[in-house]
């Protein structure tokens, strides 16, 4: 008789009546069918010989994911509740704070109950006396989606549109729309027909003090030092006779001397900052005048300023602008006189000829420019007195079918007089007075080159390009007939990103009705304040950010106090 294999003798290990876990088949020796509800990963469920991980049921995977989501939601709610408590701590009392927490507790409990109900509905097999399933063929669980959680009414009422929250550096700045030769919609106008949105001035100030705030701010800065507080306390107690000080006035002289000398030093440093700010704000640039900027009110003065005649009235030129134009006019006359003198010297060296040998009509005539020739030289007229037929063609944003005022012209002005929506003209080597969108350039490829040394320290030239829809603009008449809207993002400090859209409706000579078009505006079409124009004859642009909204000013921040690290650690 043949001998049976050695593993046949252990066939009794597969009897169903055996209660030991070691008598189960090898393929099922590492399952525990009685703990399916708690089937999570267990290191003991790894085969010590084959090092194989057991298969987890679908119920355990779903239950674990639901628990993870529930924990993450609780953490997010706790962080959100803490932020709300911090934000509203100044306006809420202790009782109202407890009441708000008590109102939010039922919603969190309802969320947890819905999660638990979802987990309990998931199971393997039936609990109402159905036949048990074999371990090797478990029944797939039925997934019941959790009920939606409705937030309480007070939370819904406190929700705000994105970008309208409070807090420095946390809220997304609001977008702005700049209109050119298009009336503002009614939603952007107040009851008097003036724009609701008011933008900051292009005048900047980096100084720490003013005439009113110098004394309190400077004393606060000095008494942040513990030594000054100590000496002040010593001077105060000397005024009481109980301490026996012979002369308290003499004891306060050292402290007064230290405070006075420090105040004089701080005042001189701040006065130098004021001079630099004035030099920057009073720098010259070229702006389109005789043209209505619909983004600005007709008279920005308040009622009190209008009554007492304070400020600049609309239609009047300020004293600083008149002084600038007078200086540049004198400079232009001096240039004309120098050129006339040089031409006269050249004519003196010309040999006189007879009338018969050289016709007088071929002699070069000496023409003296007029006094206003310097101002007219600023204009970008590529044609004669009337625009040519090519410039009258409606291209891009230009619509020559609509009449223009015909009074627009380039005028010199100051940096601080620029406003959002103004059209400016930049020449070669000019500094950019504000954040400007490039409309057109003198380059045939609609390119311009800028140097950003004042922004990021890089001296290499960077390429900027004009928008395709506005690249054909070359004169004041073209700007009068241009119609478009710029939807810009809000001001932020990132020097390398910008997002905007130029929207316009092309002119339709056939009256079929053209659809609105849009061109994207990126950082490649934006000139930042502080940059310098290089290797480009001229650039026409539109101001989109002014003053404190420009990127260079947002990166600068407030003027800090000069204190060493040791002084910051040892003082208040």
Does any domain span residue 334? Answer: no
Q: Which residues pair with 195 in a beta bridge?
A: 189
Give the pLDDT of residue 160: 41
Query: What digits encode the pLDDT tens for the residues 164-193?
Result: 444 444 566 788 999 999 999 988 888 888
Contact assessment for residue 200 and residue 296, using Cβ atoms and an 8 Å cutoff: no
180 and 123 belong to one structural domain:
no
Confidence of residue 525 (pLDDT cuts 50, 70, 90): very high
Query: What digits encode the pLDDT tens for the residues 414-470?
Result: 999 999 999 999 999 999 999 999 999 999 999 999 999 988 888 899 999 999 999
pLDDT above 70 covers what percent of the chain?
63
Confidence of residue 107 (pLDDT cuts 50, 70, 90): low
Considering the entire predicted model, what is its pTM? Answer: 0.61
540 and 409 belong to one structural domain:
yes
* Segments forming the whole domain that contains residue 428: 173-187+285-297+371-382+389-572
What are the tokens at 498? 């910008």
Q: Of 281, 310, 336, which marks where a domain is finished? A: 281
Q: 395 phi and psi, to 5 degrees?
A: -130, 130
The C-alpha atoms of residue 559 and residue 103 are separated, in whole angstroms, by 45
Give the pLDDT of residue 486: 95
Give the pLDDT of residue 320: 81
31 and 123 belong to one structural domain:
yes
291 and 258 belong to one structural domain:
no
Does any domain span residue 494? Answer: yes
Confidence of residue 101 (pLDDT cuts 50, 70, 90): low
Confidence of residue 364 (pLDDT cuts 50, 70, 90): very low
- The average pLDDT across 138-152 equals 46
CATH of residue 476's domain is 2.70.150.10
Contact assessment for residue 440 and residue 537, using Cβ atoms and an 8 Å cutoff: no
Q: Of 281, 314, 332, which marks where a domain is finished? A: 281
Best CA proximity match to 532, nearest among 423, 455, 443, 469: 455
* Predicted confidence (pLDDT) at residue 496 exceeds the cutoff of 50: yes
396 and 529 belong to one structural domain:
yes
Task: Using the CB atoms, write b or e for 97-129: b if 16+ within 10 Å.
Answer: eeebeeebeeeeeebeeebeebbeebebeeeee
Residue 557, by phi and psi: left (phi above 0), alpha (psi -120 to 50) or beta? left
Give the pLDDT of residue 237: 87
What are the tokens at 488? 């810009």
Does any domain span residue 356? Answer: no
182 and 136 belong to one structural domain:
no
CA 473 to chain centre: 28
75 and 179 belong to one structural domain:
no
- The average pLDDT across 334-348 equals 58
Query: What digits encode the pLDDT tens for the residues 26-37?
Result: 444 444 444 444
Does any domain span residue 321? Answer: no
64 and 181 belong to one structural domain:
no
119 and 220 belong to one structural domain:
no
119 and 179 belong to one structural domain:
no
Query: What digits encode the pLDDT tens for the residues 38-64?
Result: 555 555 555 555 554 555 677 777 888
Does any domain span residue 165? Answer: no
Burial class (CB in 10 A: 0-12, 13-18, 19+), 329: middle
Best CA proximity match to 199, nearest among 526, 502, 422: 422
Best CA proximity match to 418, nearest among 111, 109, 126, 202: 202
* Predicted confidence (pLDDT) at residue 367 exceeds the cutoff of 80: no
Best CA proximity match to 419, nearest among 203, 274, 193: 203
Q: 419 phi and psi, to 5 degrees?
A: -135, 165
Does any domain span residue 329? Answer: no
Does any domain span residue 327? Answer: no
269 and 152 belong to one structural domain:
no
Does any domain span residue 72? Answer: yes
- pLDDT averaged over the chain? 73
Q: Of 231, 248, 281, which marks where a domain is finished? A: 281
Q: How many domains does the chain have?
A: 3
177 and 97 belong to one structural domain:
no
The C-alpha atoms of residue 383 and residue 519 are separated, in whole angstroms, by 28
* Predicted confidence (pLDDT) at residue 75 exceeds the cutoff of 50: yes
pLDDT above 90 covers what percent of the chain?
31
Give the pLDDT of residue 269: 93
Give the pLDDT of residue 259: 94
């Amino acid at each position: 008789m043949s001998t049976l294999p050695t593993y046949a003798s252990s066939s009794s290990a597969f009897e169903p009546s055996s209660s030991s876990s070691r008598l189960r088949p090898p393929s099922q020796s590492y399952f525990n069918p009685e703990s399916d509800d708690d089937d999570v990963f267990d290191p003991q469920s790894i085969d010590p010989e084959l090092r194989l991980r057991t298969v987890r049921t679908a119920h355990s995977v779903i239950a674990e994911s639901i628990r993870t989501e529930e924990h993450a939601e609780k953490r997010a709610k706790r962080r959100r509740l803490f932020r709300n408590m911090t934000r509203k701590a100044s306006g809420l009392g202790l009782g109202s704070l407890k009441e708000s927490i008590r109102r939010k507790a039922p919603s969190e409990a309802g969320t947890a109950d819905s999660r638990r109900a979802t987990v309990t509905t998931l199971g393997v097999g039936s609990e109402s006396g159905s036949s048990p399933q074999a371990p090797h063929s478990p029944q797939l669980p039925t997934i019941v989606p959790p009920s939606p959680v409705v937030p309480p009414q007070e939370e819904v009422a406190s929700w705000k549109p994105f970008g309208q929250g409070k807090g420095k550096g946390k809220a997304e700045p609001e977008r702005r729309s700049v209109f050119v030769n298009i009336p503002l919609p009614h939603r952007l106008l107040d009851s008097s027909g003036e724009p609701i949105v008011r933008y900051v001035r292009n005048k900047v100030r980096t100084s720490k003090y003013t005439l009113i705030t110098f004394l309190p701010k400077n004393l606060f800065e000095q008494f942040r030092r513990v030594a000054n507080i100590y000496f002040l306390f010593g001077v105060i107690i000397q005024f009481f006779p109980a301490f026996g000080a012979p002369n308290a006035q003499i004891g306060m002289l050292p402290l007064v001397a230290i405070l006075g000398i420090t105040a004089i030093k701080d005042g001189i440093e701040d006065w130098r900052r004021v001079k630099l700010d004035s030099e920057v704000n009073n720098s010259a640039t070229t702006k389109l005048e005789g043209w209505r900027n619909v983004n600005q009110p007709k008279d920005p003065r308040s009622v009190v300023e209008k009554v007492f005649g304070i400020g600049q009235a609309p239609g009047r030129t300020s004293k600083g602008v008149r002084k600038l134009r007078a200086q540049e006019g004198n400079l232009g006359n001096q240039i004309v006189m120098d050129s006339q003198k040089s031409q006269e010297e050249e004519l003196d060296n010309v040999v006189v000829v007879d009338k018969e040998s050289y016709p007088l009509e071929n002699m070069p005539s000496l023409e003296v420019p007029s006094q206003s020739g310097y101002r007219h030289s600023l204009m970008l007229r590529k044609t004669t007195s009337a625009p040519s037929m090519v410039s009258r063609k409606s291209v891009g944003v230009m619509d020559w079918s609509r009449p223009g005022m015909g009074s627009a012209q380039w005028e010199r002005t100051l940096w601080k007089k620029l406003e959002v929506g103004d059209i400016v003209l930049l020449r070669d080597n000019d500094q950019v007075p504000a954040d400007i969108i490039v409309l057109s350039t003198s380059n045939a490829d609609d390119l311009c080159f800028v140097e950003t040394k004042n922004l990021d320290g890089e001296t290499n030239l960077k390429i900027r390009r004009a928008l395709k829809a506005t690249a054909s603009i070359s004169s004041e008449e073209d700007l009068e007939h241009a119609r478009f809207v710029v939807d810009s993002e809000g001001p932020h400090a990132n020097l390398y990103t910008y997002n905007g859209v130029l929207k316009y409706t092309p002119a339709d000579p056939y009256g079929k009705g053209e659809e609105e078009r849009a061109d994207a505006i990126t950082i490649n079409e934006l000139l930042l304040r502080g940059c310098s124009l290089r290797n480009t004859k001229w650039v026409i642009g539109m101001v989109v950010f002014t003053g404190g909204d420009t990127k260079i000013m947002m990166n600068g921040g407030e003027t800090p106090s000069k204190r060493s690290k040791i002084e910051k650690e040892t003082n208040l």
